[in-house]
Chains A and B, each alone.
Chain A
C-alpha cells in the first residue's frame, strides 16, 4: 500500500474531519485517538484489505510511516 493510499484510508477511520496526517504524524497524539479508533483501524484493515494487524503491532508503532511499514510487511 502506498503512503497516499494508507493516509487516505486512515483519515476515513477518524471521527474528526480535516485532520492533517503525514507519514511523520504520531497517531496516538491525534485529537480523539482512543481504543475505539484503534479497533476501527484494525477491523477496517482486515475488511478492506484482508490485512490482519494485531493490537500490539499497531500500538508498537509510533508514526503513520511505522504502521505503513508493518502493513506492507504482511
Chain B
C-alpha cells in the first residue's frame, strides 16, 4: 500500500462567551476552589450560547479552515466526518445536515461517530483508512462538543473543567509544496468498557423503565441526577494514570521507534494536574510534553487538534518533528498515534 495520509491543516472555533475562574469563584462561594482551580491549569473556558449548537460550531470551525487556508477548496472535500457526543440530533446524523449547510458536494460520504476524549485519534485512523484504501483524497474531520449543555448548573467541578469548542482538520492524500504536513503513522487503540459508567449521561439514550435495574446503575452521593453528566473523577484519574503511560509505550512500539525519537507529546488536554501525573509516571521530560488548555479548558475531542494548532503556531512542531498524540477518557476509550511532521 503506497498511499499515505497527512494532516494538512487545522482550524477551530471557540464560542464568544468566556467563563473565567473569578466568575466561577463568585458563582460558588462555598467551594474553596483556589488551589484546585490553580492545579487544573485552566483559567477560562468558552461556553456555547443558549441557542448555539454543536452543528453551528462545527460549521464555524470549517468556515475558519477554508478562510485561513485559501488553497483548500470546498469542492475538493470528498468525505466529511463529525465526532461528537452532543449532536443536534440523534436522528438524522448531524454530518448530513452539516454537509448541506456547508454546501459540500453531494457525491461524498458523511457520518457522525460517538467518542469523547479519544475521538480525534480515532477519527484520524478512519480518515487514514479511507485514504490508504483509495476511497477518499480530502477528508474533513470535525470534532465539536457542547458538553456545557449536559452539565448541571450547580456542578462546579465539571463546569470548571470543561469548555465548548470545535476543531476542523483536513486530512489529505497529497501535500502541497512548502506546507508543513503531518504523516499519520501507526495507532494503538484501547477500550475498557467496564468503566462505561464512570463518565456518563445516563438519560442521553433511549429511555426504558427498567434502565437503572438493567444496568445496576447508581450514582455516588455527589450526583446531579440522570439528566446531567456524571463523572467519577477518581475512577477516571486512576484509569488514566494506570493505562496511559502503557498506551504511550505501546504506541511507540507500534511505530518501531524508541521513546527518545519522539520530539513532542501532545496528550488529550484533560487538566494540568492529570497531565503532570501522566508525564511523571511515563518519565517524559517537561519540555517535550505540550500543554495548552489555560484559556479554553478540557474541550473533549477538540483538545488535541487545538493543541496541535498551537504547537504548530508557536514552533513547538517543526520540520522533522515526531509527535505522539494520545486521547483517553469517556468509554473508557483510548487511542495513541504517531504523526511525523515534515515540510515538503
Which chain A residues have a beta carbon within 8 Å of chain B's beta carbons? Answer: 12, 15, 32, 34-36, 39-40, 42-44, 46-47
Contacts and interface: CB of A to CB of B under 8 A. Distances in A.
B39 A36 contact: yes
Contacts, number: 33
B291 to A, nearest CB: 14
A47 B39 contact: no
B274 to A, nearest CB: 9
A39 B236 CA distance: 11
B36 A44 contact: no
Interface of B: prevailing SS: helix
Contact of A47 (B36, B233, B242): B242
Given A15-B273, A39-B233, A43-B277, 20 more contacts: A15-B39, A15-B276, A32-B39, A34-B35, A34-B36, A35-B36, A36-B39, A36-B273, A39-B234, A39-B237, A40-B237, A40-B241, A40-B273, A43-B234, A43-B238, A43-B241, A44-B241, A44-B281, A46-B238, A47-B242
A41 to B, nearest CB: 11
4 tightest Cβ-Cβ pairs between the two chains A and B: A43-B238, A43-B241, A34-B35, A36-B273
Contact of B36 (A12, A36, A42): A36
Contacts of B35: 32, 34
A39 B237 CA distance: 8
B280 interface: yes
Nearest to B242: A47
A34 B39 contact: yes
A12 B280 contact: yes
Contacts of A32: 35, 39
7 contacts: A15-B276, A34-B36, A34-B39, A36-B36, A39-B234, A40-B241, A44-B281
Contacts of B233: 39
Contacts of A12: 280
Contacts of A43: 234, 237-238, 241-242, 277
Nearest to B34: A34
B248 to A, nearest CB: 15
B18 to A, nearest CB: 24
B238 to A, nearest CB: 5
B241 A47 contact: yes
A40 B35 CA distance: 15
Nearest to A31: B35
Nearest to B277: A40
A47 B234 contact: no
B198 to A, nearest CB: 14
Contacts of A47: 241-242, 281
Nearest to A34: B35
Contacts of B276: 15
